Amino acid sequence: MTREVGRTTVLLVDDHDVVHWGLRSLLSSQTWVARCLSAHNGQEAVDLATRYSPHVALVDLFLGTESGAELCERLRKAEPRTRVLLLSGAGRISAAAARAAGASGFVPKDWPAADVCRAVQAVAAGRTVFEASAGPATPAGLSAREREILGLIATGATNPEIAKTLHLSPHTVKEHTSALYRKLEVRNRAEAVRTADQRGLL
């Protein structure tokens, strides 16, 4: 079956009814999603991928007794054009292991809904999405979120603007900012950007 030009077909693979329903409703409401296919196990997923050739499959890392990583390999063999984004609320997979299975990304279920949608859209567009904090600590000991905030500080964004962009409270942004100042051993935004640039963190 042909894909709809300019819009994305998503295959959702998750065996938890409430999570499944929520993700399907979320994705179906996106203007860039043409359709959201639904599978609760590996065989359903492979059958749908073969029939509809979705742009991206959002696959739970743990599908009952099945492995999402192994299903990723099966999906990629059944329909090489379908890119896979692994998702989990109960565990993590390293970027190296996810890539080895053929996945184009991994996101935790505790990410804000808007971030999950952006990750699906990015993978569908051919990019990769891997949560930096799932791996070793970044240089200077900054967390993935602190690196993200640092990057926005470098663009000149204010704390309220950063909070809106990342869907965080201003108080949370302030706490992250204070933490990265402490780790970089700086006193203000200008010093943080300058030091981060010197250390290759931007």
Interval 100-120: pLDDT, tens: 889 999 988 878 888 899 999
Q: What is the CATH number of domain 139-198?
A: 1.10.10.10
Inform me whether the pLDDT recorded for 2 exceeds 60.
Answer: no
133 falls in which pLDDT band (50, 70, 90)? very low
Pick from 11, 95, 107, 110: which is nearest to 56 by CA? 11
Inform me whether the pLDDT recorded for 184 exceeds 50.
Answer: yes
Inform me whether the pLDDT recorded for 73 exceeds 60.
Answer: yes
168 falls in which pLDDT band (50, 70, 90)? confident
C-alpha 161/C-alpha 198 separation (Å) is 25
Report, in angstroms and rounded to the nearest whole number, the Rg of the chain calculated over CA atoms: 19
Q: What is the pLDDT of residue 36?
A: 96
134 falls in which pLDDT band (50, 70, 90)? very low
**Where along the chain do the CATH 3.40.50.2300 domains lie?**
8-134
Indicate the residue type of 156: G
Q: What is the pLDDT of residue 104?
A: 95
Q: What is the pLDDT of residue 80?
A: 95
- The predicted model scores a pTM of 0.63
**Where along the chain do the CATH 1.10.10.10 domains lie?**
139-198
Q: Does domain 8-134 have CATH number 3.40.50.2300?
A: yes
Q: Which residues contact 115 (CB under 8 A, 6 or more apart)?
A: 107, 167
C-alpha 173/C-alpha 114 separation (Å) is 17
C-alpha 148/C-alpha 146 separation (Å) is 5
Buried b (16+ CB within 10 A) or exposed e, 158-186: ebeebbeebebeeebbeebbebbbebbeb
